Amino acid sequence: MRRLLSVAALMLVWGCAELLGLDKYGSGEESGPAPSTSVGSGGGGAGGGPITMPAEVCTDGVDNDNDGAIDCEDDACANHDCLPAPPAGWIGPVALAIGDPSAIPSCAGGGAEFEGGSGTAYVPLAECPCTCNATPTLTCTGHYDLHDDVNCQLASFSGSTTNCANVMFVAKYIFASITSGNDGTCGVTSTDPPPGGVTWPMMARGCAATAGKGCGDGVCVSQPAGFDRLCIYSPGDVVCPSGDYTERSVVERYVLANDTRGCDTPCTCASFDAACSGSLTVYDTMGCTGNSTWLAIDGCTYSGFDVGSVEYVPVVSGTCVPGARTPIGDAGAFDTTTVCCKPR
């Protein structure tokens, strides 16, 4: 009878062990991935192994390792800090990095909360070039008076041309002159470039910091690698709130609509000493071909033949001088974000 009771008790224990899955620890069978934290070990002989629990995640608000401590309360989260929750009107916490743009780390898992320039902005003046045509533009005309007398006193036929004119007139004495139709105009040959880019000595980037619990009314956060400090921020240029976040910096961003840089006046070009000159030539046939004679300007010239056509080749002289210009305006107001950080 006693032997039967012992066998029954042994079977009952084995059944309970199988039901609870404890037989697998004693048999060496695998039961899935091993948790990361050991909480004890089995005593089942050579086949026994550690019984483990998950490691604590310090920013999820959960007691992952079941030790009764959540996030920053847990000793495993010693590398995290308890920070006050952002006051009304402020956003955070964020991890802030300030430095050379090429060395600023990116935000893990998404875009930045804010980024922009840090330090004193460099705003180059507007460029105000002004260049003109090399010589003025003039309307030049060659005039010719055909005469029968050697002194060019008795005018028989008069005409003018800006290039070649057919005449076919029986006369061998010609008085030539040149006139200009205006005082000369000068064209502008330059255009104003857009204002130069605004730059800052350093760049600032703020990335959202994952916040956990275990800090009462505060938040449990860690400072990611490559970031300078933990902060809160608010749009605009404002003072930091009282409390732990006392180190203030302002992040600035350029706004094209606020840029008023330019030049005080448009580019203008003035004409100086503009004058027409050139040469007039008579030919014995039409079309300004054949035998020819060059005419003295403002004098009487004997051609030696009856005039068939007259050609005027104009020459314009003078200079074009650009007007003076001065840069004005500035880059205007920047879009700003105030960042207040816990001192390091």
Q: What is the pLDDT of residues 195-247, one digit of tens each?
A: 999 999 999 999 998 889 999 999 999 888 889 889 999 999 999 999 889 99
> Which whole number is the average pLDDT over 308-331?
96
Residue with tokens 């290039």: 163
Task: Determine the straight-line distance between the first and last CA of the chain, rounded to whole angstroms.
Answer: 77
> Which whole number is the average pLDDT over 275-290?
97
Instruction: Kindly indicate the confidence band of residue 339, based on its pLDDT and cuts at 50, 70 and 90.
Output: very high
Q: Which sign does the torsion angle of CA 35, 40, 44, 49 carry?
A: positive
- Is the pLDDT at 272 greater than 50? The verdict is yes
- Is the pLDDT at 13 greater than 70? The verdict is no
- Per DSSP, helices labelled H in 234-324 are none
pLDDT at 51: 63
Q: What is the pLDDT of residues 147-197, one digit of tens each?
A: 989 999 887 899 999 999 999 999 999 999 999 988 899 999 999 999 999
The 10 Å Cβ neighbour count of residue 79 is 8
Q: What is the pLDDT of residues 57-72, one digit of tens each?
A: 888 889 888 888 999 9
CA–CA dist 40, 144 (Å, integer): 123
pLDDT at 50: 67
Instruction: Kindly indicate the confidence band of residue 131, based on its pLDDT and cuts at 50, 70 and 90.
Output: very high
Beta bridge partners of 173: 147, 302
pLDDT at 48: 56
Instruction: Kindly indicate the confidence band of residue 6, based on its pLDDT and cuts at 50, 70 and 90.
Output: very low
- Is the pLDDT at 38 greater than 80? The verdict is no
Consecutive H or E run containing 307: strand 307-322
Beta bridge partners of 114: 206
pLDDT at 211: 86
> Any idea which of 226-230, 247-251, 322-326 has the lowest mean pLDDT?
226-230
Output the average pLDDT for the chain. 85
SS3 label, residue 282: strand
> Which whole number is the average pLDDT over 260-272?
96
- Is the pLDDT at 27 greater than 80? The verdict is no
CA–CA dist 169, 184 (Å, integer): 34
Q: Is 158 exposed, middle or buried (0-12, 13-18, 19+ CB in 10 A)?
A: exposed
CA–CA dist 204, 209 (Å, integer): 15
pLDDT at 25: 31
> Which whole number is the average pLDDT over 302-318?
96
Instruction: Kindly indicate the confidence band of residue 47, based on its pLDDT and cuts at 50, 70 and 90.
Output: low
> Which whole number is the average pLDDT over 91-106?
92
Q: What letters, b where the CB count within 10 A reaches 16 and e where it falls short, cover 306-335?
A: ebbbbbbebebebbbebeebeeeeebeebe
> Taking the model in full, what pTM does it have?
0.65
Instruction: Specify whether the CB–CB gap between 263 and 325 falls below 8 A.
Output: yes
Instruction: Specify whether the CB–CB gap between 176 and 277 falls below 8 A.
Output: no
pLDDT at 111: 82
SS3 label, residue 1: coil
What percent of the chain shows pLDDT beyond 70? Answer: 85
> Which whole number is the average pLDDT over 311-319?
96
- Is the pLDDT at 298 greater than 50? The verdict is yes
Consecutive H or E run containing 20: helix 2-20
The larger pLDDT score, comparing residue 2 to residue 272, is at 272
The 10 Å Cβ neighbour count of residue 109 is 8
